[in-house]
Amino acid sequence: MKPSDRFVADLSQSRARVERFAAMCRQHGAMMWVYPPALRESEAERMDFADDGDLMLQCRIEHKVRDISFRDAGDFPYPTLIVDEVYKVDRIKARPFRYIIENREGTRIAVIRSATRPHWTVTRRWDKQQGRECDFYEIPKHLAVFCDFGPEALS
């Protein structure tokens, strides 16, 4: 069993590294919080003790509803999904972690992960809502994750 003084010293060293990591993430635009440290009351409580974690990350999600019925990539009627207008995406300072595209019925979503950005292409299309031609980022539908609402959307 680790003695309390050693536990406190290890925790202090660990917390310093957690704080350092959080600061580096913040420099890159992440919204990161460090949980306050929690100490066990005594060595005897060691096996029953758990803190609330190290870090909390807040991330941006963009949500779009498309007037399209779909359940999965197989029945999505187009080869690509529209992410958003190019000018809107390019001006964002805090890049979204995910783009969530909800189907017409509100029963399924297509999740576009930020890591797929190198695969996005620009396409000029007529936008009947805007009444003009617009440049859109699109992604091949096989790179999106089609799923129900829930934790899978964020993984």
Q: What does the domain layout of the chain look like in residue ranges?
A: 4-58, 61-154
Query: Does the pLDDT value for residue 26 go beyond 80?
Result: yes
Query: Does the pLDDT value for residue 108 go beyond 70?
Result: yes
pLDDT of residue 69: 96
List CB contacts of 111: < 8 A, sequence separation 6 or more.
98, 99, 100, 101, 144, 145, 146, 147, 152, 153
pLDDT of residue 131: 93
Q: Are 146 and 76 in contact (CB under 8 A)?
A: yes
Give the residue with greater pLDDT, 44 vs 59.
59
- Which of 77, 64, 71, 81 lies closest to 146, judged by CA? 71
CA distance 105 to 99: 18
Q: Are 110 and 81 in contact (CB under 8 A)?
A: yes
pTM to 2 decimal places? 0.73
pLDDT of residue 14: 84
- Greatest mean pLDDT among 8-12, 15-19, 63-67: 63-67
| Sign, Cα dihedral of 136, 58, 18, 22 | positive
CA distance 39 to 147: 40
Give the residue with greater pLDDT, 31 vs 140.
140
- Which of 55, 134, 33, 143 lies closest to 99, judged by CA? 143
Would you say how long the chain is, in residues? 155
Stretch among 22-36, 90-104, 124-138 having the lowest mean pLDDT: 22-36
Query: Does the pLDDT value for residue 49 go beyond 60?
Result: no
